[in-house]
Amino acid sequence: MMRKLLLCLSFLFLCTSVRATMPEEESTTSTLVTTSPVMEETLPSLDKVMAAIIQVESKGDPKAFNKKGNCAGILQITPGLVKQCNMWLKEEKSKKRYSLQDRFVRTKSIEMFYMVQSHYNPKNDVERAIRVWNGGPKYSKKATQGYYLRVMKHLK
């Protein structure tokens, strides 16, 4: 229950700080997060990490698709991740389910990102958030090092 509350609060906060429209209305280049200096101080670090991951994964293009890994959307979500999120939703007795097309929808991709983080990174550790997103819950530091450094460049 606490995870759901944290996920909902994070998502609601993010929705107020992300400037976005639905994919059908978007150009392939878009600004992800706009913040004022005051908001910058209060913005949770996981939101900043997600914005940096989005830049590394797709440069903010909700239509981005990688045929090699069948990854799609702003966060380059795989079919396996959609399946995992649906399993968690089922365990929580939620009627909500994600489809493969939802990977192209900014808000639904963000929901799936936070769901992954709430399960595999409950303490919202920045390094773990990045490495889990790239290498899964049993990531290797060596295998995720390049990705970690690219995301960190966008955080500075």
pLDDT digits (tens, 9 = 90+) for 119-128: 999 999 999 9
Residue 101 confidence (pLDDT) above 80? yes
Residue 10 confidence (pLDDT) above 80? no
Residue ranges of domains in the chain, CATH in brackets = 44-155 (1.10.530.10)
Predicted confidence band of residue 156 (pLDDT cuts 50, 70, 90): confident
What is 85-126 written as a DSSP string?
HHHHHHHTT------GGGGGSHHHHHHHHHHHHHHH-TT--H
Residue 135 confidence (pLDDT) above 50? yes
